A and B are shown apart, each in its own frame.
Chain A
Amino acid sequence: DAGVTQSPTHLIKTRGQQVTLRCSPKSGHDTVSWYQQALGQGPQFIFQYYEEEERQRGNFPDRFSGHQFPNYSSELNVNALLLGDSALYLCASSLVLGTGFAGNTIYFGEGSWLTVV
């Protein structure tokens, strides 16, 4: 049973550049969320995709955007990179149950380490 997979594992970008991170959800899952984890901190919610639409969004600027494809995989795009965007970006997947998103367990990938220089 394939878990959540993310790519690339590590990458280095320059300030002002753009980056795209990719995520394939756990087999059978239809919902993908993205989190930013700064060093020594807990993950912070960026946004959630379900049925190819952004369903919820955290406190992140419009420079952060995403997409979900018909096969449920997802991309996170960050434009105009800042030094402060350096972090571990985690993708998490879940399955929407009859009650909606509330209380569903999310399963994380191993993350993409982004360093902005």
Chain B
Amino acid sequence: GDSVTQMEGPVTLSEEAFLTINCTYTATGYPSLFWYVQYPGEGLQLLLKATKADDKGSNKGFEATYRKETTSFHLEKGSVQVSDSAVYFCALSFNKFYFGSGTKLNVKP
């Protein structure tokens, strides 16, 4: 069945470090791919999306490229800030959403 696998956390980085959170998916076709972020005590917020192969989604310095050949959608940011500390969820969608288990990011000053 359709599913998403994310790297396990927590990921702890110093401010201004480079971030990569790996995400791979299994799907019978070509889904849309998403990254959502959840801050403590809040619901999920859309971070970025890509709807077809080779598309790059980007927002707030984060970016991810839809790689059909490796079935991946890794999240990257060149320089993280303390305010980026949150849980990040990778998701795929056909008619409904499948979420990964989330990766907690801690950024230290």
Contact = CB atoms under 8 A, between A and B. Distances in A.
Interface of A: 4, 33, 35, 40-45, 48, 56, 58, 90, 92, 100-111
Nearest to B34: A105
A18 to B, nearest CB: 24
A43 B95 contact: no
A105 B97 CA distance: 10
B43 A109 contact: yes
Interface residues of B, number: 25
Contacts, number: 61
Tell me the interface secondary structure of chain B in the complex: strand
Tell me the interface secondary structure of chain A in the complex: loop
Question: Which of A102, A107, A110 counts the most chain B CB atoms within 10 A?
Answer: A102
B18 interface: no
Interface in B1-46: 4, 31-32, 34, 36, 41-46
A33 B45 CA distance: 15
